[in-house]
Structure 1
Amino acid sequence: MVNFTLMTALILYSFSWISVSGSHSVTVQPGEDVTLLCPNVSRYDGVSFWFRLINDSQVRCISVKFNSKSKVEFCVGLQNEKYEISSNITVLFLKIKQVDLSDSGLYFCGFYSNGRPIFSVKHLNVEGSDEAQNDMESKQKEDEFDTIWLISMILGGLTFFLLVVIVGLVVQIRKLQTAHKEEQNLKQRQNPHVEDLNYAAVAFRPKAKQRQMEQNVIY
């Protein structure tokens, strides 16, 4: 396996020097095997490679071959059992086994000739891919709506719960304050002369002291 990052960067950087030799579209059923052809191999005894374009923005390397006599190397992270690379004197083959909807897209075979990349474009269409993509987008929108609705319900429930707790605390505090006031009022009603008796006791004490002083004077 080889890492195709540098090669991909060079390819994208040099788009103004790219030459496209031809394009071809292939339509297959899910589960079938399909073979894509890259012609004119014999004209370029140099680096040849296969890669594909994903989601119109991501480039994924499939394989690279450095010359006509070297061994085909699969790129890092690729499932070797999914692809099979072969060639003869004039054609480079890419066989994709048991295709599914995710295999749909643009495939490029390319060569370097005098430092200039030459591509042949193959469009693989697995039947049902457009409908599946639309269904996926619709499901994604539904999931996003469900998530927003769920978050709104949770926040609404929390707000209502906090409001109930606050109201309950206010009512409880008011009840405690009312009960305390009623208890004080009840005690005052049960003992109405307590303050008068205490005042009388305080008032009579100085008199007792004065009487005792008078007795001492007589003696």
Structure 2
Amino acid sequence: TMKQSLITALILCWISVSSSESHTETVEGRPGGEVTLTCSNTSSRDALTLWLRVVNRTKASFISAMFSSTVKPFYSDGIQNGRFNMSTNISTLFLQIKHVDVSDSGLYLCGFYIGGPFHFNAIHLNVKAKLMSLILGALTVLLLMIIIGLNLDSDLKDAALSLYAATIRNRRPASEREVETHAVYAVCR
């Protein structure tokens, strides 16, 4: 709607002005983990609060809102059930995100309506895998495969040589096998 587009434009304008004037907080997360975004209510009064996410730098997407600290939050229809949890203790607003993914990275806005305009704070969520952990894990698996392969290879060679020796022994005439057996007994005595 026109009203929603105007609000989005105003929010994005505010973001560009405020981000040039102040430092946006950054929260780091790892895939599959959990993060909690927080922002302070500078008025310390119970207020209408909300969380938004900026999508593609052109659109603010609604996540959740609370009318007061004593009322349960409500969530956008597109939000996966149970993955987001909004809460407040009046002085601080929280957004807990479970099972974060790289696609959750981006700019999040928390807003307070105390009368007059909304007051927004921006938080940048950065979710990325630890590249070094992935590389070390891959190298470990590769080395284990090589070691197991070498062990299996040497075991197979030993088994093949034993089978080959037994086959050759059984192909000789019985008189040669008896001689060999007697020779072994003679040496062992």
Same fold (TM over 0.5): yes
RMSD of the TM alignment (CA)? 2.9
Residues 31-72 of structure 1, C-alpha deviations (whole Å, 9 max, x = no match): 110000021276243321001011212321110112233221
C-alpha distance in 2 between matches for 1:13 and 1:53:
11
What residue number does 2:39 align with?
38
What amino acid does structure 1 have at the position aligned with 2:107? L
Matches within 5 A, 1:51-200: 51-128=52-129
Determine if contact 1:25/1:122 at 8 Å carries over to the other structure. yes
Determine if contact 1:48/1:66 at 8 Å carries over to the other structure. yes
What residue number does 1:12 align with?
8
What amino acid does structure 2 have at the position aligned with 1:11? I
Which SS does the other structure have where 2:24 is aligned?
Answer: strand
Identity of aligned residues (%): 42
What residue number does 1:184 align with?
none
Structure with greater helix percent: 1
Structure 1's unaligned 5+ residue stretches are 130-219
Report how far residue 11 of structure 1 moved: 2.9
Residues 51-100 of structure 1, C-alpha deviations (whole Å, 9 max, x = no match): 10112123211101122332211112211221111222421110111111
Report how far residue 6 of structure 1 moved: 8.3
Residues 143-162 of structure 1, C-alpha deviations (whole Å, 9 max, x = no match): xxxxxxxxxxxxxxxxxxxx
Question: Residues 10, 43 of structure 1: CA spacing in aligned structure 2 closer, same or farther, 3 A cutoff?
Answer: farther
C-alpha distance in 2 between matches for 1:87 and 1:111:
11
What residue number does 2:26 align with?
25
Question: Residues 87, 56 of structure 1: CA spacing in aligned structure 2 closer, same or farther, 3 A cutoff?
Answer: same
What residue number does 1:140 align with?
none
Larger Rg: 1
What amino acid does structure 1 have at the position aligned with 2:7? I
C-alpha distance in 1 between matches for 2:2 and 2:111:
15
Which SS does the other structure have where 1:92 is aligned?
Answer: strand
- TM norm structure 2: 0.56
Which SS does the other structure have where 1:12 is aligned?
Answer: helix
Residues 150-181 of structure 1, C-alpha deviations (whole Å, 9 max, x = no match): xxxxxxxxxxxxxxxxxxxxxxxxxxxxxxxx
Which SS does the other structure have where 2:80 is aligned?
Answer: coil
Determine if contact 2:112/2:120 at 8 Å carries over to the other structure. yes
C-alpha distance in 2 between matches for 1:50 and 1:102:
17
C-alpha distance in 2 between matches for 1:7 and 1:71:
26
C-alpha distance in 2 between matches for 1:6 and 1:68:
30
Determine if contact 2:41/2:112 at 8 Å carries over to the other structure. no
Question: Residues 88, 45 of structure 1: CA spacing in aligned structure 2 closer, same or farther, 3 A cutoff?
Answer: closer
What amino acid does structure 2 have at the position aligned with 1:84? N
Question: Residues 96, 17 of structure 1: CA spacing in aligned structure 2 closer, same or farther, 3 A cutoff?
Answer: closer
